[in-house]
Amino acid sequence: MIYEIPDGVCMTEGLRLAKLVVYGCQMNERDSETIAGYLGKAGYALTEDERGADLVLYLTCCVRGNAEDRALGNLGQAKRLKKARPGLKVGICGCMAQEGWVREALGGRLSWIDLAFGTHNIHRLPELLARLDSGERVVEVWDFPQEVVEDLPVLRKDPLKAFVNITYGCDNFCTYCIVPYVRGRERSRGVKEIEAECVEAAGSGVKDITLLGQNVNAYGKGLAPADGLERPDFPYLLGVLDEALPEGIRLRFTTSHPRFVDDRMIEAVASLKKVCEQYHLPVQAGSDKVLGMMNRGYTASGYLAMLDRVRKAVPGCAVTSDIMVGFPGETEEDFLDTLAVVEEARFDAAFTFVYSPRKGTAAEAMPGQVPEEEKKDRIKRLIDLQNRISLSVNRGLVGKVEEVMAEGPSEKDPGMWSGRTRTNKMVHWPETGVAPGRLVRVRIERARTFVLHGTREDRT
Ligand code: SAH
Ligand code: SF4
Ligand code: F3S
């Protein structure tokens, strides 16, 4: 019902409104900022309220079935809204738009959709939007990416934080994962282009930059030699950015693949001042049999040994992870191996997932699909364990003083301010009106599973 236009919604003549609905990972978050940039250039203002929108665009994710189902559910609602207001244009883009069955459906049961484009042709938006304006139905999805396209516009959501792509796509083909199929082969942006985007972001007031890629530490494939290196690699890029960026900037990166963590990378993270003490290192599973079937390229003991090296070099560093349960063939024993690795790794936090078969991936056809009930039971046990560990790790911070970057009022209690540590942990403290981006020192007094509480140490 919320999609019915209520009396009194005023449509300002000449001003067009677009609502952008974003699902999925940081890649999509970053793409949404480029798309918002193009929409702005085409004369659209962004709105949160689809009831007054001229265009609703869904930037979709298909990494798991539930992400896809959510998008399909919302598309159904948009279809009803469009029936009530035929002038409304509805579009779909992002990873789902690359999937074969969606492309087929765009000629069938999704043929009411006005605009569709994929992950490889976002830069074509100016032309696609113009064609849409002239009354055309526009469906343009490319099978493959072309060379990396530069000089894309950007309308950043958060004045403090920027995502900067360093690689696109993925070559790893983990057997459960659809990302390489919908994002294409791995491509790296040039060092100069990345540096320019980071420096521009910092110049416009951004204080926290996250370098993005499915596999950031494989950065550099296909690039020309630089500075005596056969090709620029991830540690080299970190060094260049650390030098180019002004003081006070925090530099992060995600996701690193455990298989590509090497001593040069560890050393770069340890020695470069602006690079924060934070790694996201998805372990996925703890059984060597399952890791092998996933094509992850490491064993559980190899992973733990790598973690040891990371933590020795960067004391106090936070490590987060992605963990999956119910991969085909995962037995109770395999799952217990996962719990054992989680117990030993003591991650600060982890994203936990139930395996979801994805069309066209190798694992979809594997025997031994795990029953839903079993998956539910395993994910619950995994989350219970990880929550206990997160709480215990956070409790270890009680009494310590952390450098916190102020963000704004706490969502739950406007009398409290919130911000993040260098390790990206959320901290609340009693105060108001601290300028976003300001670095303050907070003594941690209480720890919860997902948040820390403390008081300012540096107030005069
Ligand atoms: N490139 C990153 C993350 C990609 S997707 C990496 O390699 O770690 C984010 C997470 O989603 C993955 O780490 C994995 O844990 C999860 N995931 C991917 N495909 C999945 C599937 N088919 N079912 C359940 N979880 C999945
Ligand atoms: Fe998917 Fe594996 Fe690539 Fe990550 S590294 S995006 S999990 S194929
Ligand atoms: Fe989803 Fe695409 Fe990211 S499938 S997880 S939005 S790369």
| Per-run averaged pLDDT (10 residues), the chain, 460 residues | 32 77 97 97 94 95 97 95 93 98 96 98 97 96 93 94 97 97 96 97 97 96 90 97 97 97 97 97 98 98 98 96 98 98 98 97 96 97 98 98 97 93 98 96 98 89
Cβ partners under 8 Å of residue 122, min gap 6: 31, 34, 35, 38, 93, 152
Same domain, 21 and 115: yes
d(CA 215, CA 171): 9
Same domain, 197 and 270: yes
Q: Which tokens sit at 414?
A: 């406007």
Which of 106, 140, 174 is the C-terminal boundary of a domain?
Answer: 140
d(CA 254, CA 27): 10
The number of helix segments (H) and strand segments (E) in the chain equals 13, 19
The finding on whether 181 has its CB within 6 A of some atom of ligand 1 is: no
Same domain, 178 and 270: yes
Measured in angstroms, how far is the CA atom of residue 174 from the centroid of ligand 3? 14
Q: Which tokens sit at 90?
A: 């509805």
Residue type, 419: G
How many distinct structural domains can be found in the chain?
Answer: 4
DSSP-derived pairing of the beta strands 426-430 and 416-421: antiparallel
Domain presence at residue 299: yes
Same domain, 247 and 201: yes
Same domain, 99 and 112: yes
CATH of the domain at 87: 3.40.50.12160
Check residue 460 and give its pLDDT: 53
Instruction: Report the residue among 63, 298, 303 best suited for mutation to probe ligand 1: largest number of ligand atoms under 8 A from its CB.
Output: 63
The finding on whether 213 has its CB within 6 A of some atom of ligand 3 is: no
Same domain, 79 and 95: yes
CATH of the domain at 431: 2.40.50.140
Same domain, 62 and 110: yes
CATH of the domain at 263: 3.30.750.210
The finding on whether 284 has its CB within 6 A of some atom of ligand 1 is: yes
Domain presence at residue 238: yes
Domain presence at residue 200: yes
Check residue 14 and give its pLDDT: 64
Domain presence at residue 8: no
Check residue 351 and give its pLDDT: 98
C-alpha angle 224-227-228 in degrees, rounded to nearest 5 = 90
Global confidence as pTM: 0.94
Domain presence at residue 347: yes
CATH of the domain at 352: 3.30.750.200
Same domain, 386 and 405: no
Q: Which of helix, strand or coil describes residue 357? A: coil
Task: Report which bound ligand comes closest to the CA of 183.
Answer: 3
d(CA 289, CA 342): 16
SS3 per residue for 286-339: CCHHHHHHHCCCCCHHHHHHHHHHHHHHCCCCEEEEEEEECCCCCCHHHHHHHH
d(CA 449, CA 350): 11
The finding on whether 176 has its CB within 6 A of some atom of ligand 1 is: yes
Same domain, 386 and 415: no
Same domain, 122 and 229: no
Which of 276, 291, 326 is the C-terminal boundary of a domain?
Answer: 276
Domain presence at residue 152: no
Which of 276, 304, 330 is the C-terminal boundary of a domain?
Answer: 276
Same domain, 325 and 308: yes
**Strand partners for 14:** none
Contact at 8 Å (CB) between 266 and 310?
yes
Same domain, 244 and 353: no
Beta strands in 105-236 (DSSP E): 115-117, 138-140, 161-165, 167-168, 187-188, 208-212
Check residue 98 and give its pLDDT: 98
- The domain of 43 spans 16-140
DSSP class of residue 419 equals: E
Measured in angstroms, how far is the CA atom of residue 177 from the centroid of ligand 2? 6
d(CA 120, CA 141): 8
d(CA 155, CA 457): 36
